[in-house]
Homo-oligomer: A and B are copies of this chain.
């Protein structure tokens, strides 16, 4: 049933496809999902998705970009709560952990070394930049509040590294069975606060 498509229709189909892909990824794992399945989930014939995306990589990139956007939105929402900068940082950290544990497949898609399809796909690039920006904003707030001093971007990346490392080890099942991830996160938090000389209000 072909019709003339407005660009809104195109966007709508793309969005539906991304959503279906995300759902299937979460259910069956990323590489278990095939183009044919995806088309079937949308009720179209196997080749139809190719009218809206160049290839599978392009779909992956779009789903990744959407995941980064959702991720950034969560962090921004957590930091929007009124509180002193240190507490807002804690909230953001909690939101980070919540996201990764609630949507491990999305987190994996975002941070796996699977494909270096980064450079292409400017939409994806933008989503990453936005998410990364969030990582340093809260540090700048603490610095401005006099709770901390130093290079905000560098310190932001340190927070990020600690969170990312703990979560990746947890998600990949690399933590020792005796390790309680929550305790590890508490220790990490306390250690960073002390180590960076953050003034606790």
Interface residues of A (CB under 8 A from B): 31, 108, 111-114, 116, 118, 128, 132, 150, 153-155, 157-158, 160-166, 168-169, 171-176, 178-179, 183-184, 187-188, 190-197
Contact = CB atoms under 8 A, between A and B. Distances in A.
Nearest to A173: B118
Contacts of A157: 166, 169, 175-176, 179, 184
A191 B173 CA distance: 26
Contact of A169 (B154, B164, B190, B197): B164
Identical copies of this chain, number: 2
Nearest to A161: B165
Contact of A195 (B111, B132, B176, B196): B196
A154 B184 contact: yes
Max chain B C-beta neighbours (<10 A), residue from A31, A184, A190: A184
A192 to B, nearest CB: 6
Nearest to A183: B154
A154 to B, nearest CB: 6
A196 B188 contact: no
Contacts of A174: 111, 128, 132
Contact of A153 (B113, B166, B179, B193): B179
